[in-house]
Structure 1
Amino acid sequence: MVDLGSHIKALRMKANLSKAALARRVGVSDVTISYWESGTIKQIGHERLVALAEALDCNLSDLLQGTPSTQMPPGVLPLRALQPPPWMTTNGQLVPSLIGLPSAGLTEGCHLVTPAPGERFDFLTEGDLAAIRPLDTVDDDGLYLLECDDALQVRHISRNAQGKLRIRDERSELDNVLISALPFRVLAHVRVHWRPFARVE
């Protein structure tokens, strides 16, 4: 961790944050940020490292090893299994949704997301792109972003003949439940899913 301070500074500058702004996000003083960046304080606890990674919107490996994340195209949000939905900022405010694309039905309230480098979800792998609309219930059959056991997951949900929800991952059916007894929290509906050189709806 010899270069940790320089990694913090580079990622802070890339995120266009002042020391004071980063300090507020992490819950420390701006003097502490200065000490971390200069190397005056060389040891940082795990909890603070996780808070730094979240505040700088990067993986721990980006922070510790200085390996830059793949540059996200403008307007595309990185999806990570162990972080909140990417359209929510660290202060709880919503990131503006897509505007100005030809299909209002697709873009109204939707965000473009892609798995962050090294992340993989059922039905959605690194390099895929999805237009995703935040909601808290199942409205149509299709792919949904869910929160289960403090982690984000993508599952296919459809209604069966008995009116129950059929939940499955890429390999098998997981459950048939009533909508009132869902074992997870619904976060968003995947409206359109693109794979490189292919499109899946």
Structure 2
Amino acid sequence: MQSLGARIKELRLRAELNKAELARRIGVSDVTISYWESGAIKQIGHERLVALADALTCSLSTLLEGDNRSALPVLSHTGPFPWKQMNASPIDVSDSVLPIRLPWHAPAFIATPGPDTHFDPLKAGDLALLGPTEVFQQAGHYLVSNGSQLEIKHLDALPSSELPLHAILLCHWRAV
């Protein structure tokens, strides 16, 4: 799989931009662009990723996953879970450039809400990074079963009841 730095360089060259022009469009130095492309800087914040995708005239999914990816797994209210879909490929977030604020050391999956679905706080076209888990001892947005439906709920603490927690929403990006 191609690294993010290699994709940034490839997309920059495809857009016929030099490092200085791309840096100006994003509001960073050309040295920062060099560090991103070389992989010397591995963490790129959400706002910078959005600005980078915009400056490179590509989607966030193309920036994060490349052109040759299969269609993203889809979140639907009736399942299947994104990690059980045929096109699901886990990503290792332990050495990730994604701005994850949770200590997560397991594979995670990028998915997007399906058509005609509502998964607050996600909107149509957003990308969501979900970490499948049985129990995660932290407040956050979880993919839970509510009867026969799946939904995302914010939990300040894990419930004492047997609420089925299927995944935690590690982070998400707005569609651009």
Q: What is the TM-score of this pair, normalised by structure 1?
A: 0.44
Larger Cα Rg: Structure 1 or Structure 2?
A: 1
* Larger relative contact order (CA 8 Å, sep ≥ 6): 2
Q: What is the TM-score of this pair, normalised by structure 2?
A: 0.50
